[in-house]
Amino acid sequence: MPPTAEAGGRREFLLVLLAGAAGAGLVLLALRQVWAHAVYTPPRPLPVQDLAISGQKLVPLASALAIAALACLAAVIATRGVVRRAAGVLLALIGAGAAAAAAAAVTSSAVLAAAAGSDPAAGAFSGGTGSTTSGAAPGSGGGAVVAGGTPGHAVITGLPWHVVAVIGALTVVLAGLATAWRGPRWPVMSARYERSGYEGPRGRTDSAAMWESLSRDVDPTDDDAAAHVGPGPAGEVELGPGSR
């Protein structure tokens, strides 16, 4: 491959990796934000409860898929050829699943169930499905109803973060498709191979001879003390003149 083509492939590889990581990061960031509020009005004199519910509690599948996308990107770095192409296809499927999960409508029952799971006290007040108010702030009089004998309603406030999560997931899809298409042409991770023996200043030293030298308090890496290290007569080890 010409140097210019190789450099272009590296830049393309880096760009796709950054795009995939940024997309997964956007999904995780969006899911950490508040997507809804669960508001309960218990009997007096108990105060009104306003519980903020994050997107991660509402769509945990999207969060898990975003983490899986990061792991898949690591697989893209470590593989080559057909295996890398398969990793790209898997990455695109993971991104599509995250986009579908993030784009799903958040229902009032889901918000109240998440609130009950995060706060047992809220679960004691929740007796059924309350009303849903979209785009309103808690306490704005958004049509609270009595559900199962307990007033409560869900306020959906995280629509912008829905959009951010979907955009991030679609970016992961694009990164996966680019990997499946161009991945086999990208450079691979350089492999470092360990040598079977120590390469001393005068050549390769056998491991057994090296241990024998160490047992006699001789540094096998010293050029003067170990000018020659090798098996001598009767299995003994010859040491250099500097060791005597």
How many angstroms separate the CA atoms of 56 and 162, rounded? Answer: 11
Query: Is the residue at 180 inside a domain?
Result: yes
Half-sphere exposure for 225 (CA within 13 Å, toward CB): 11
Distance of CA 26 to the CA centre of its chain: 12
Parts of the chain with a pLDDT under 70: 1-6, 118-151, 189-244
Query: Strand 145-147 relative to strand 49-54: parallel, antiparallel, unpaired?
Result: unpaired
Tokens of 152: 């409560």
Query: Strand 150-156 relative to strand 131-134: parallel, antiparallel, unpaired?
Result: parallel
- pLDDT, position 174: 97
How many angstroms separate the CA atoms of 59 and 105, rounded? Answer: 10
- pLDDT, position 219: 64
- pLDDT, position 118: 66
**210 shares a domain with 107:** no
Structural domain range at position 227: 198-243
Domain count, the chain: 2
How many angstroms separate the CA atoms of 56 and 76, rounded? Answer: 26
The pTM of the full predicted model, rounded to 2 decimals, is 0.65
Query: Is the residue at 190 inside a domain?
Result: no
Query: Is the residue at 191 inside a domain?
Result: no
**135 shares a domain with 34:** yes
Radius of gyration in angstroms for the set of CA atoms belonging to the chain, rounded to a whole number: 31
